[in-house]
Structure 1
Amino acid sequence: MALPLTDNKKKKKKKWQTYAVLFILPSFLLYLLFVIVPTFSSLYLSFTSWDGVSSDIRFIGFNNFVEIWNSERVHNALKNTLFMAVVLVLLENIVALALAMLVDQVRWFRNLFRSVFYFPVLLSGIVMGFVWTIILNYNFGVINQLLDMIGLSSLKADWLGNPDFAMLSIILSTVWKSAGYYMIIYLAGLQGIPQELAEAANIDGANRWQQFLHITFPLLAGAMTVCIVLSMIGSLKIFDQIAVMTDGGPGFETETLTYIIYKVGFGELRQGFGTALAQVLFLLILIVTIIQVKFLRKREVQL
């Protein structure tokens, strides 16, 4: 049985508890002010017809959510969002894994290659969007000029103004920007695989593809879980590239849920509807993330 604390020890414990509270208090107040309060405020505003400017906030119940359910524009944006998310997750992870395996095999200038592949990650989405807008410009863009130089002028296209290519252009530019981030995670996973396993596979006569399929790929399950979840969340929230490169166009071909939230809330002054749509996006990301984590964790255990 433990002996009771003396009065002196009790005073010291209480003193340190007070200090702990004082250290935590500033961070807690900031979190309360910038996270908790806005969260509950947005939940309330989603049931109003507030325009974002006036002090007139009228409660309208579930009208915003009913409009979301019946809106063709929202349905189109949801389709675009899900399509872009699925394609981006696949391409980002395939490219990132390929780059990681390439860099892992490099003997000379390994750090240089890491830096080169990671550099696009450091660019903001706005800067990246402007860079690719110039590259893909129909009149003076690098892509069309190269096609002219090699005699393939017939393949020139308005990459951002043509509905057939606009979505593809955004997806490929986003992969260029973000693949380096996931490459670092995969590279850490690759370097954690014991060399003895590869050596034993070589002795048994396994080729590179068999080593990747039966050793590398299963042992990268943890890194793959992190990359796929982060990639999916980022893809569902994509905004900067669309705002700069296509403005949701041509027409509504590249409009996503995040971009509608911005356009409706700030362009059309319908903050109530935009906030309701943000709640829907939050639930979508939450559900998709839970399903992904549950499935991928189960795969890790099985492997």
Structure 2
Amino acid sequence: MSTAVAPVRKDVRDTRVRKFFWRMWRERSAYLFIAPGVIIFSVFTLAALIFAFYLTFHRWSIIEPEKPYVGLQNYEDMIHDERFVQSVLNTVYFTGASVPLTMIIGLTLALLLNQPIRGRAIFRTAYYLPVVTPFVVSALLWKWLYNGEFGLFNYYLLKGHIIDEPLLWLSDKNLAMPAVVLMSVWSGVGFSMVVYLAGLQSIPYELYESAKLDGCGTWRRIRYVTIPLLRPTTLFLLVIGIIGSLQVFTQIFVMTSGGPVNKTTTMVYYMYLWAFKYYDMGYASTLAFALFAMLLVFTALQLRLFKDGGTQ
């Protein structure tokens, strides 16, 4: 026999509402303190996000008065856009090359600089300097190093008889993206090193002593003690690295402008072209939400994989 649930009476609902507003009034000073942050977030983030989603359903040119509603046409155009597909592949290539290299080199440096060696603080500072160098400055510096006529890379490669003629690093379709990846790894290794150093210093030394007593050598201690206990640190760097690499823009803008023949055109740079070169904010917003979806999927997959791995 089923029993019907009695609906909440109107006077009870009114009492709950009054209690809610009374608690808000009682804590009014706290709400007053957080009000500026809430207002700024609502205006410049939440409202902007909603408006950008609204733009995806319009052909929204910033130089034309007509902004017609096109429904899902922008999404359909994006799916059939070969340049967009190429930009996705370029972004995945950049991410797959730069993130693992940055993390592996960062972990190696952290392991070395965690040892009691002379001048350790100087080395740590030197490796971290590229991180605090403005990205535009770093990109300009590496663009000069890659110069085909007077760049240092070609100079020393020719001097060592490794190559017979200068390489056009940023103009060769096979070398442009690896050159950008190398510059990005150089600028990001310091951050990975510092984070891994923090993770290494949180590992109890007693675990290494126990492993040593069990006959484990250096490599076995790294494999069975260091790497498993660095799992949260690795997850953090992996998520942050993928999010950052999927949004790569500055080095592409400064060093290659998406060339040659779109071989270095990434998703964010392609989005920039549609927004500020072709002036179609509707299609650019559609590309932005596609990037958001990719970031969401990648992050969810990483969290799920690491969670499953930690429970085994």
- TM-score, length-normalised on structure 2? 0.89
Residues 14 and 40 (structure 1), Cα distance of their counterparts in 2 relative to 1, 3 Å cut: closer
Match of 1:123 among 125, 129, 133: 133
Give the AA of the match of 2:229: L
Cα distance change of structure 1 residues 55 and 38 upon mapping to structure 2, 3 Å threshold: farther
Show the 5 A alignment for 1:270-285: 270-285=280-295
Name the structure 2 match of 1:23. 33
Q: Compute the displacement of 1:233 (Å).
A: 0.5
Matched, 1:240 2:250: yes
Residue of structure 1 equivalent to 2:201: 191
Task: Indicate the SS of the match to 2:164.
Answer: helix
SS in 2 for 1:27: helix
Q: Residue 86 of structure 1: CA displacement?
A: 1.5
CA distance in 2 between counterparts of 1:14 and 1:197 reads: 51
SS in 2 for 1:269: coil
Per-residue deviation, residues 170-221 of structure 1 (Å, max 9, x unmatched):
0111000011111111111111111112122222221111111111111100
Distance 1:228 1:66 in 2: 32
- Aligned-partner Cα distance in 1 for 2:292–2:33: 31
CA distance in 2, matches of 1:70, 1:13: 54
Alpha-carbon RMSD across the aligned residues, in angstroms, is: 1.6
Check conservation: 2:149, 2:166, Cα contact below 8 A. Answer: no
Q: CA deviation at 1:124?
A: 2.4
Identity of aligned residues (%): 32
Task: Report how far residue 155 of structure 1 moved.
Answer: 6.1
Q: Equivalent residue for 1:150?
A: 160
Alignment map for 1:153-302 (pairs within 5 Å): 153-154=163-164, 156-302=166-312
Query: 1:61: how far off?
Result: 0.5
Alpha-carbon separation, structure 1, partners of 2:230 and 2:65 = 53
Give secondary structure in 2 for the equivalent of 1:154. Answer: coil
Matched, 1:90 2:105: no
Matched residue, 1:103 = 113
Could you say if the C-alpha distance between residues 132 and 106 of structure 1 is closer, same or farther in structure 2, counting changes exceeding 3 Å? farther
Shift of 1:57: 2.2
Q: Give the letter aligned to residue 112 of structure 1.
A: I
Structure-1 residue corresponding to 2:14: none
Unaligned runs of 5+ in 2: 1-21
Q: Retained in 2: the 8 A contact 1:85–1:235? A: yes
Match for residue 87 of structure 2? Answer: 77
Amino acid at match of 1:274: A
Which deviates further from its counterpart, 48-57 or 247-256?
48-57
Please identify, of 99-108 and 237-246, the stretch whose mean Cα deviation from structure 2 is larger: 99-108
Deviation track 1:37-70 (CA, whole Å, cap 9, x = no partner) reads 1000000001111112344321111111111101
One-letter amino acid matched to 2:284: G
Q: Does the Cα contact within 8 Å between 1:225 and 1:297 map onto a contact in 2?
A: no
What one-letter code is carried by the residue in structure 2 that aligns with 1:61? G
Q: Tell me how far apart the structure 2 counterparts of residues 290 and 21 of structure 1 sit (CA, whole Å).
A: 33
State how many pairs are aligned. 291
What one-letter code is carried by the residue in structure 2 that aligns with 1:37?
A
TM-score between both structures, scaled by the size of structure 1:
0.92
Q: Any stretches of 5+ residues in structure 1 without a counterpart?
A: 1-11
Please state how far the C-alpha of 1:265 moved relative to its aligned partner: 1.0
SS of residue matched to 2:265: coil
Counterparts of 1:235 and 1:51, CA distance in 2: 29
CA distance in 2, matches of 1:134, 1:106: 37
Residues 99 and 242 in structure 2, CA contact (< 8 A), matched pair in contact too = yes
Q: Per-residue deviation at 1:298? A: 2.5
- Residues 49 and 58 in structure 1, CA contact (< 8 A), matched pair in contact too: yes
Please tell me the residue identity of whatever aligns with 2:134.
Answer: S
- Deviations 1:110-129 (CA, angstroms, capped at 9, x unpaired): 22111111111112222111
Q: Is the 8 A contact 1:49 1:270 kept in 2?
A: yes
